[in-house]
Structure 1
Amino acid sequence: MATTTTTTTADNTPKFHQTSEFRPENNPAISPPTHDGLQFWQFMVAGSIAGSVEHMVVFPIDTLKTRMQAIGSSSSYKAPSPTLRQSFVSIMQIEGLGGFYRGIAAMGLGAGPAHAVYFSVYELCKKNFTAGNPNNSIAHALSGVFATVASDAVITPMDVVKQRLQLTGSPYKGFGDCVKRVLLEEGVGAFYASYRTTVVMNAPFTAVHFATYEAAKRGLMEISPENVRDEETLVVHATAGAAAGALAAAVTTPLDVVKTQLQCQGVCGCDRFSSGSISDVVQAVVKRDGYGGLMRGWIPRMLFHAPAAALCWSTYEAAKSFFHARNGSEDDRNFS
């Protein structure tokens, strides 16, 4: 509210002055820390919602990708590299529609917390790295790298469970049975056998993803400024997100193949490796399938990440807009 002070003139007549309106956000001791007008818990909630929507909607495509990548020397597939169609037909004939959703509980439990960490760390780093330049692509890429290192520590165990449940003829009855048996038979370390590979893969993936997303979003807004007005439109976020997801997925497919091999090793005919070394897995894949084996699953991987990123970014930005409106309405109520 506005405050009023009084002074007196030379003839002792009181004179009233109205000072500027006081708001607690002008007082750092009272105001919670914000970035882009939001508090960081709001970025976490927005990211959690976005991540859950992203993975749940396109989960069947992820199952196809896992089936195509997790092929070992003793695989029942006659062809060395099953096609997308072969994997789809196999699941439909043997398991039905339910086969596309095995492991979705594990991803449901992991996606929300992991993306909450992912986006909040990204926004925190972006705030500190951009140094007043919101178009700094290097800052966006570095922020993405820091975000993925943190979030991968949360999602990797759930990803291991998810992929083992997605395998053809998976020996596990469900989420709980898989967690219990992996702990008893292989130990806690099995849940993080692929963590190093996941980080090595997701660091460039996220760097390419975020840098491409911010650049594509900026380019789309410059091409059609009449469609932006006060807020960026849903189509801008979705298009930029799809482009970013597809490009990042294509670039990092070889490392994704390595990650899948490590997470599913020793299960359903998948090869077992004496170490978690990326080079050892690469050599084994190349020896068995040639260099083409390192690109196995690139089509469903792109088909997954393009719509997934579009959904994720549009949902994330929509949630941010909701919080912006909420924060604004609270300000209006508090200071009207």
Structure 2
Amino acid sequence: MELSSDRVVAPLEMSQTQSQDDESPRSDGESYESLPPHASVTTHMTAGAVAGVLEHSVMYPVDSVKTRMQSLQPDPNAQYRSVYEALKKIIRTEGVFRPLRGLNITMMGAGPAHALYFACYERVKHSLSDIIQSGGNSHIANGVAGSVATVLHDAIMNPAEVIKQRMQMYNSPYRGLLDCVRTITRTEGVGAFYRSYSTQLTMNIPFQAVHFITYELMQEQLNPHRLYNPGSHILSGAAAGAVSAAVTTPLDVCKTLLNTQENVALNSMNISGHLTGMANAFRTVYRLGGPAAFFKGVQARVIYQMPSTAIAWSVYEFFKYFLTKQQLEQEAGSGPL
């Protein structure tokens, strides 16, 4: 989404009676696209928080399957050929709510993490675009903004990811969220919650750079006039999610190993203590499964990311539009008659 600062912004009017023969391209959609410079940080944060919670919660069962499918040496009872088979087997043998285990901590982290994520992205992209290509769309600005936003996002989400993935694993020993937090803190120390932070950043910075660049490229093709167009936001988001998920799956496998500290896999390698560092994780994955191991769970990861990213972008765009519309109406109502 392009934040244009060189247009004069008029109060938003959702007029459905505007003549289609009007040769001026300036419509309510274009006004929407011009609105973000006047949107407050609160608007971006609220829209981002709602989008983040929905993104993670709607497709959470598939994320649980992805975590299990990335196990390097899974239990014989936790080996799956497809996402559908995995969900069916988990529900049948472990209960209907098992795929939702860890959802609570994910939602607690996703709200504030995505609030900072989207607010930072919009502000940085807008500032850099004015410097690099005034009044235009800069893919460099999009990529840099996505990377900066990711640093803040992951600082909040990394502890939630550790807890979530520990609870998602087959035969997870934790009774619940608090038991998981207490056990990890007592046995591994507080640092365990950030053991995979550098790996997470190494994965998510290219993930988000590819994500945002793909999204903006798709928007240029599907929505060149930058109207408020839910269909284009959904398709662009889905494409961005699929491409970025596929190319960063090897790093995600390493991150999952660092987060879960998979005992069977580590014991088979005679690794005592806890595995740390992306380089060690990379070597361990390769020694246990070869090149193919780096793409374990890629199907589930793409299936999860496509709708999740589509949901995040469409919800974010809608709430940004809705909240900004309200803000402008209030400003117009309080202005001089």
Name the TM-score class by shorter chain: 0.7 to 0.9
Q: Report the AA paired with residue 123 of structure 1.
A: E
Q: Which runs of no fewer than 5 residues in structure 2 stay unpaired?
A: 1-34
Alignment of 1:1-336 (within 5 A): 35-72=36-73, 75-77=74-76, 83-131=82-130, 132-222=134-224, 231-266=227-262, 269-271=264-266, 274-335=274-335, 336=337
| Structure 1 Cα separation of the partners of residues 283 and 78 of structure 2 | 20
| Structure 2 Cα separation of the partners of residues 78 and 43 of structure 1 | 44
Q: Give the C-alpha shift of residue 277 in structure 1.
A: 2.2
Give the count of matched residue pairs: 294
| Structure 2 Cα separation of the partners of residues 117 and 171 of structure 1 | 33
SS of the counterpart of 1:134? coil
SS of the counterpart of 1:271? helix
Q: Is the 8 A contact 1:46 1:320 kept in 2?
A: yes
More strand per residue: 1
Q: Is the 8 A contact 1:237 1:313 kept in 2?
A: yes
Q: Is the 8 A contact 1:80 1:289 kept in 2?
A: no
- The answer for the alignment partner of 1:24 in structure 2 is none
Q: Give the C-alpha shift of residue 64 in structure 1.
A: 0.5
Q: Is the 8 A contact 2:72 2:293 kept in 1?
A: no
CA RMSD, 1 decimal: 1.9
Q: Give the C-alpha shift of residue 37 in structure 1.
A: 2.1
Task: Classify 1:280/1:83 alpha carbon distance in 2 versus 1 (closer, same or farther; 3 Å).
Answer: farther
Q: Is the 8 A contact 2:49 2:114 kept in 1?
A: yes
**Deviations for 1:204-245, whole angstroms, at most 9, x for unmatched residues?**
0000000111110121023xx6xx7xx321101111000001
| Structure 1 Cα separation of the partners of residues 117 and 293 of structure 2 | 30
| Structure 2 Cα separation of the partners of residues 114 and 306 of structure 1 | 20
The TM-score normalised by the length of structure 1 is 0.83
| Structure 2 Cα separation of the partners of residues 36 and 183 of structure 1 | 43
Q: Is the 8 A contact 1:261 1:271 kept in 2?
A: no
Query: What is the percentage of aligned positions where both structures have the same residue?
Result: 37
Q: Report the AA paired with residue 311 of structure 1.
A: I
Q: Give the C-alpha shift of residue 46 in structure 1.
A: 0.7
The TM-score normalised by the length of structure 2 is 0.83
Q: Report the AA paired with residue 271 of structure 1.
A: L
| Structure 1 Cα separation of the partners of residues 235 and 84 of structure 2 | 27
Q: Report the AA paired with residue 119 of structure 1.
A: F
Q: Which runs of no fewer than 5 residues in structure 1 stay unpaired?
A: 1-33
Structure with max Cα Rg = 1
SS of the counterpart of 1:135? coil
- The answer for the alignment partner of 2:10 in structure 1 is none
